[in-house]
């Protein structure tokens, strides 16, 4: 009897499971049909809105996904030198602009960002400066700008040099053996170490030990955002949420948020106690970003809420390390590919340092040739290759009107390779940035940090870090290209290489 009951139960259960699987299938079919209908309506409207702009033919469903590679942009650029429509996934349709004349009017506005790539960051960085819009953006930008004043940035140079030295010491083993190594991951940890010190005054030790859960979480979040960007079914919120990667993303977000909230709470407590605050600042002898954010007040003496503070700190954590890691890694690669320019930079740096171990704030303006090489590398390998805007108002380009609601992809990469602006754009030539040559070009021909009111607030911080790290590295090592490992550029939120960036190094002869 017991056995009978057991089998009866099992049969009911299976029937239940069978019914459930049918319901699930029907729900899936309805969902997929709804998505396909939405995509097709969106595509039709988009084709109508942008029909005056000719562009490369795409697949009816996948658009240009399969053709979209960095090397295609200059090719399309030659055929359509101003703008062309492009489709990244069935749901993401852009008017791709890559000429300074077209870029200028868009960057002159404070219009909202598109809701494609930036959306993947929202659960982590929240409505921080990068993604927010309107009055909130305006208020925050005003409150945060003093945090990037020269006086605040000055003491960071020493912190950046310390982080760079840790990385360069680790590299001694590669110099001794002259073996090829992948450098992007080293540089990422180094820039994360730097931003941790500048944002929180936190000695993360992340370059030597990986046990810090917050560092692990930030690293994981950057990787998962990049993965989500790459895997097209993950563009859908529901699919990503239900996937193992979505679970890992939520877990890492929780760790990052708990950490940031706790650091803010502790620092607020210290700041509330005036005496302690003074001691703390004297002990540190510099103000970190968190101090600046906590003390920021508008005309009504209103500061930022805890939620807003957390969003800004998390935004700096993302924007402040992945972008600079990309910039530095590609500069190293450019230097390795161009040994004669590398040697000129080294001689300039040696002359300025005159035997000093570390580069100082005052030295940063004395290395013009190195600065031109850094700019040329930012032109050829822009760390942020693409930006998105959703038009809140119609815009007219040479009598062609693009209606409000359209999404514009501003291809920084495309602008930097536009053959109507740059002669031989694929050639590394730092002299393009001699003042007399720069004066001949549109200010919107070189926009690695964007331009206009929504340009990069961390531009000076980033340029300082780039100069410090390049100077410290070239002083110690010769960077050598490895012909067996040519990097394959891939546009993600930041410019990366599909197969990493591999170099060989050797110690500079004294």
Q: Looking at 65-73, 76-84, 295-303, 312-320, which segment touches ligand HEM (CB under 6 A)?
A: 312-320
Q: Which strands make up the sheet holding 181-182, listed edge to edge?
A: 181-182, 502-507, 477-481
Q: Looking at beta carbons only, is 129 or 406 nearer to ligand HEM?
A: 129
For 126, the token pair is 């929240």
* 458 near ligand HEM, judged by CB under 6 A: yes
Nearer to ligand HEM, 39 or 148 (CB): 148
For residue 74, state whether it binds ligand HEM (rule: CB under 6 A): no
Residue number, 316 or 422, with CB nearest to ligand HEM: 316
Query: Among 49, 193, 319, 376, which residue interacts with ligand HEM (rule: CB under 6 A)?
Result: 319
Q: Tokens in use for 143?
A: 């409150």
Instruction: Considering the complex, state which of residue 174 and residue 260 has its C-beta at the smaller distance from ligand HEM.
Output: 260
Distance from C-alpha of 235 to C-alpha of 246, rounded to nearest angstrom: 11
Is position 316 an interface residue for ligand HEM (rule: CB under 6 A)?
yes
Residue 253, annotated as binding a ligand: no
Q: Which of 63, 111, 320, 491 binds ligand HEM (CB under 6 A)?
A: 320
SS3 sequence of 83-146: EEEEEEECCEEEEEECCHHHHHHHHCCCCCECCCHHHHHHHHHCCCCCCCCHHHHHHHHHHHHH
Residue 85 lies near ligand HEM (rule: CB under 6 A):
no
By the 8 A CB rule, do 385 and 495 touch? Answer: yes
Q: Where are the alpha helices (DSSP H) in 273-321?
A: 274-284, 289-295, 306-319
If one asks whether residue 234 binds ligand HEM (CB under 6 A), the answer comes out as: no
Q: Which among 58, 34, 103 has a CA at the least distance from the CA of 447? A: 103
Binding span for ligand HEM by CB under 6 A among 40-48, 280-288, 428-436, 452-460: 452-460
Q: Does 129 bind ligand HEM (CB under 6 A)?
A: yes
Q: How far is CA 342 from CA 167, 320, 440, 475, 503, in A?
A: 20, 26, 26, 11, 14
Distance between first and last Cα of the chain: 91
Among 384, 408, 415, 469, binds ligand HEM (CB under 6 A): 384
- Minimum CB separation of residue 482 from ligand HEM in Å reads 24
Question: Given the rule CB under 6 A, which of 30-38, 83-91, 241-249, 311-319 is the region that contacts ligand HEM?
Answer: 311-319
CB of 174 or CB of 418, closer to ligand HEM = 418
- Are 88 and 63 spatial neighbours (Cβ–Cβ below 8 Å)? yes
- Binding of residue 448 to ligand HEM (CB under 6 A): yes
Q: Which of 201, 324, 342, 377 binds ligand HEM (CB under 6 A)?
A: 324
How would you classify the pairing of strands 477-481 and 489-491? unpaired
Q: CB under 6 A: which stretch of 157-165, 256-264, 322-330, 356-364 binds ligand HEM? A: 322-330
Report the residue number, 296 or 457, with the smaller CB distance to ligand HEM.
457
Nearest CB to ligand HEM, comparing residues 319 and 376: 319
CB 93 within 8 A of CB 60: no
Q: Confirm or reject binding of residue 293 to ligand HEM (CB under 6 A).
A: no
Query: Does 454 participate in binding ligand HEM (rule CB under 6 A)?
Result: yes
Residue 327 touches ligand HEM, criterion: CB under 6 A:
yes
Among 113, 310, 346, 476, binds ligand HEM (CB under 6 A): 113
Could you tell me the smallest distance in angstroms from the CB atom of residue 367 to ligand HEM? 17
The CB-of-349 to ligand HEM minimum distance in angstroms stands at: 20
> Is residue 45 part of the contact set for ligand HEM (CB under 6 A)?
no
Contacts of 204 (CB under 8 A, 6+ apart): 192, 193, 196, 197, 212, 214, 215
Question: What's the CA gap between 244 and 238, in Å, rounded?
Answer: 12
> How far is Cα 38 from Cα 470, in angstroms, rounded to an integer?
49
Name the minimum Å distance from CB 448 to ligand HEM.
5
- Binding status of residue 380 toward ligand HEM by CB under 6 A: no
- As a whole number of angstroms, the distance between CA 274 and CA 426 comes to 56
What burial letters (b/e) apply to 395-430, b meaning 16+ CB within 10 Å?
bebeeeebeeebbbbbbbbbbbbbeebbeebeebbb
Q: Does 449 bind ligand HEM (CB under 6 A)?
A: yes
Cβ proximity to ligand HEM, 474 vs 478, nearer residue: 474
Shortest Cβ 330–ligand HEM spacing (Å) = 10
Q: Residue 387 interacts with ligand HEM (CB under 6 A)? A: yes
CA distance 312 to 314: 5
3-state helix, strand, coil in the chain (%, to 5): 60, 10, 30
Q: Is 141 in the site for ligand HEM (CB under 6 A)?
A: yes
Write down the least CB distance from residue 206 to ligand HEM, Å.
17
Residue 111 touching ligand HEM (CB under 6 A): no
Q: Token pair 């822009």 is at which residue?
A: 382
Which one of 87, 163, 260, 323 is in contact with ligand HEM (CB under 6 A)?
A: 323
**CB closer to ligand HEM, 304 vs 387:** 387
CA dihedral 109, 114, 115, 119 (to 10 degrees): -90
For residues 191 and 194, what is the distance between their CA atoms, to the nearest angstrom?
A: 5
Q: Is 196 a residue that touches ligand HEM (CB under 6 A)?
A: no
Contact criterion met (CB below 8 Å) for 383 and 494: yes
- What residues line the site for ligand HEM (CB under 6 A)? 113, 129-130, 141, 315-316, 319-320, 323-324, 327, 383-384, 387, 448-450, 454, 456-458, 461-462
Query: From the annotation, which residues make up the binding site for heme?
Result: 456
């Amino acid at each position: 009897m017991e056995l009978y009951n057991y089998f009866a139960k099992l049969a009911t259960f299976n029937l239940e499971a069978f019914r459930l699987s049918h319901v699930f299938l029907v729900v899936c079919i309805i969902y997929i049909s709804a998505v396909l209908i939405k995509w097709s309506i969106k595509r039709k409207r988009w084709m109508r809105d942008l029909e005056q702009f000719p562009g490369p033919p795409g697949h009816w469903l996948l658009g240009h996904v399969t053709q979209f590679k960095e090397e295609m942009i200059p090719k399309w650029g030659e055929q359509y030198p101003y703008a062309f429509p492009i489709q990244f996934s069935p749901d993401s349709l852009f008017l791709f602009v890559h000429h300074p004349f077209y870029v200028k009017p868009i960057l002159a506005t404070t219009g909202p960002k598109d809701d494609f790539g930036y959306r993947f960051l929202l659960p982590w960085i929240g409505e921080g400066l990068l993604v927010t819009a309107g009055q909130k953006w305006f208020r925050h930008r005003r409150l945060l700008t003093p945090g990037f004043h020269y006086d605040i940035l000055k003491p960071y140079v020493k912190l950046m040099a310390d982080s760079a030295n840790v990385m360069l010491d680790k590299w001694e083993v590669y110099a001794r053996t002259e073996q090829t190594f992948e450098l992007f991951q080293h540089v990422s940890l180094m820039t994360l170490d730097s931003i941790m010190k500048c944002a929180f005054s936190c000695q993360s030790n992340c370059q030597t030990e990986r046990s810090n859960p917050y560092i692990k979480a930030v690293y994981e979040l950057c990787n998962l955002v990049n993965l989500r960007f790459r895997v097209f079914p993950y563009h859908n919120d529901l699919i990503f949420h239900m996937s193992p990667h979505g679970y890992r993303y939520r877990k890492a977000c929780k760790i990052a948020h708990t950490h940031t909230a706790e650091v803010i709470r502790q620092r607020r407590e210290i700041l509330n106690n005036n005496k302690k605050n003074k001691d703390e600042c004297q002990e540190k002898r510099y103000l970190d970003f968190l101090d600046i954010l906590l003390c920021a007040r508008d005309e009504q003496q209103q500061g930022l809420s805890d939620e807003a503070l957390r969003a800004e700190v998390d935004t700096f954590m993302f924007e402040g390390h992945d972008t600079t890691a990309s910039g530095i890694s590609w500069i190293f690669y450019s230097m390795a590919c161009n040994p004669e320019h590398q040697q000129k930079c080294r001689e300039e740096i040696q002359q300025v340092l005159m035997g000093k171990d570390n580069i100082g704030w005052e030295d940063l303006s004395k290395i013009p040739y190195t600065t031109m090489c850094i700019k040329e590398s930012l032109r050829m390998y822009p760390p942020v290759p693409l930006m998105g805007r959703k038009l809140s108002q119609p815009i007219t380009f040479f009598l062609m009107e693009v209606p409000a609601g359209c999404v514009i992809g501003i291809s920084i990469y495309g602008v930097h390779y536009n053959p109507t602006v740059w002669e031989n754009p694929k050639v590394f030539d730092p002299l393009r940035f001699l003042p007399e040559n720069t004066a001949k070009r549109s200010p919107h021909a070189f926009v690695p940090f964007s331009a206009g009111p929504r340009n990069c607030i961390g531009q000076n911080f980033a340029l300082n870090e780039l100069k410090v790290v390049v100077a410290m590295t070239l002083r110690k090592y010769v960077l050598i290209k490895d012909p067996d490992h040519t990097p394959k550029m891939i546009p993600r939120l930041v410019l990366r290489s599909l197969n990493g960036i591999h170099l060989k190094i050797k110690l500079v002869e004294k």
